[in-house]
């Protein structure tokens, strides 16, 4: 009888532990989702008020590289004007080269490549080309 009672108490204790683990994991999952949701609202508010959020300051170089990559590619696709002295075709190619260069930079920073890797060197060369074009045509980046 004592052994049966002890086994029954252990089973009840195990069920209680399982229920508490389920409750705790559910509670913390909901808590973190709410906390993350509130944080995302804060970041959205910052983007509306300031034009950028705190995460941009944490890694400005990547933030700008992604922005320049995306926007110059979109400008190349929707080109509605080009600088004096260039043709529309040439301007589109320059914008694509800038975008490709900054895309290469993003890939270089991914951590996949070793600094001595041939692919890394190729990406670095493409980035340098894009950066030179960006510096040269910076005043002309309008649409």
d(CA 140, CA 137): 5
Phi, psi torsion values for 100, nearest 5 degrees: -65, -40
Q: Where are the domains of the chain?
A: 1-58, 59-138
What mean pLDDT is predicted for residues 45-64? Answer: 92
Per-residue confidence (pLDDT) for residue 15, from 0 to 100 = 62
Better-scored residue on pLDDT, 11 or 126: 126
Closest CA to 72 of 116, 40, 105: 105
- Determine how many CB atoms are found less than 10 A away from the CB of residue 5: 9
**40: pLDDT confidence band, cut at 50, 70 and 90?**
very high
Q: Over 90: is that where the pLDDT of 49 sits?
A: yes
Q: How far apart are CA 109 and CA 103, in angstroms?
A: 10
Structure token pair of residue 88: 């529309």
pLDDT over 60 (residue 4): no
CA gap 10, 55 in Å, rounded:
50
Give per-residue pLDDT as tens, 72-128: 999 999 988 899 999 999 999 999 999 999 999 999 988 887 878 888 899 999 999
Query: Mind giving me the DSSP string for 31-75?
Result: HHHHHHHHHHHHHHHHHHHHSS-HHHHHTHHHHHHHHHHHHHHHH
Section 56-83 average pLDDT: 92
Residue 1, both tokens: 């009888």
């Amino acid at each position: 009888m004592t052994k049966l009672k002890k086994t029954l108490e252990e089973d009840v204790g195990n069920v209680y532990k399982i229920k508490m683990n389920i409750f705790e994991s559910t509670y913390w999952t909901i808590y973190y989702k709410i906390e993350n949701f509130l944080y995302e609202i804060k970041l959205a508010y910052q983007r509306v008020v300031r034009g950028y959020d705190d995460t941009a300051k944490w890694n400005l170089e990547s933030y700008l590289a992604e922005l320049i990559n995306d926007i110059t590619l979109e400008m190349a696709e929707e080109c509605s004007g080009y600088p004096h002295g260039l043709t529309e075709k040439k301007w589109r190619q320059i914008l694509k080269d800038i975008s490709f260069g900054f895309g290469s930079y993003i890939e270089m920073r991914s951590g996949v490549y070793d600094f001595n890797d041939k692919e890394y060197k190729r990406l670095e060369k493409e980035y340098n080309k894009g950066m030179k074009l960006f510096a040269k045509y910076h005043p002309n980046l309008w649409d």
